[in-house]
Amino acid sequence: MASQINDFGFINKSITLRNAYDVFLLSKKTIAKNAFLKFNRLKNPLQCFLASCFEVFNKPESLKYISSNKTKKYMTTFNKYVNNKALKNQREKKTRLTAMKKRNMHLRFLKLFKCLFYKEYRNWLINCVRDKNWRKEKLIQLGIKKP
């Protein structure tokens, strides 16, 4: 389930068979859908993961899940990506790029935030802005100036 949450499994509509098999084995000892109900904020991703495990392992009784409109929609796209590898790869690439952009923006805001409170960071930023080569590089990156 960790790959569903941390590694974009839910967003990419994919599962790792190792994690799915672990859930399958655990479902033999307990009722999986009841175990997942305890997690209110993760309810939808976990139910979707359980639904995909249910489909992959040929609908065993131990992996029954709570069906909802969200899980039905998820399973429709999940089955589409399972059957079309090129479409799946395209989706994963787009997701990775989006995540990288968000991370880069976060790091930039963090640097600016530190510039407000720490003298070393302010001095670093002032030195960067004064540097002619740095300014030229940033103008090229923004597309304002040609290389």
Q: At residue 3, does pLDDT exceed 70?
A: no
The confidence band for 49, taking pLDDT boundaries of 50, 70 and 90, is confident
Dig out the tokens for 62 from the structure: 């131990």
Q: At residue 111, does pLDDT exceed 80?
A: yes
- CB proximity list for 70: less than 8 A, separation 6 or greater: 44, 47, 48
Q: What is d(CA 11, CA 91) in angstroms, rounded to the nearest whole number?
A: 9
Q: At residue 62, does pLDDT exceed 80?
A: yes
Which residue shows structure tokens 């979707």? 48
Backbone angles phi, psi at 72, to 5 degrees: -65, -45
Residue 145 has a pLDDT of: 80
Residue 123 has a pLDDT of: 92
Domain ranges of the chain: 2-83
Q: Is the pTM of this model over 0.85?
A: no
- Given CA atoms 64, 68, 72, 74 in this order, what sign does their dihedral have? negative
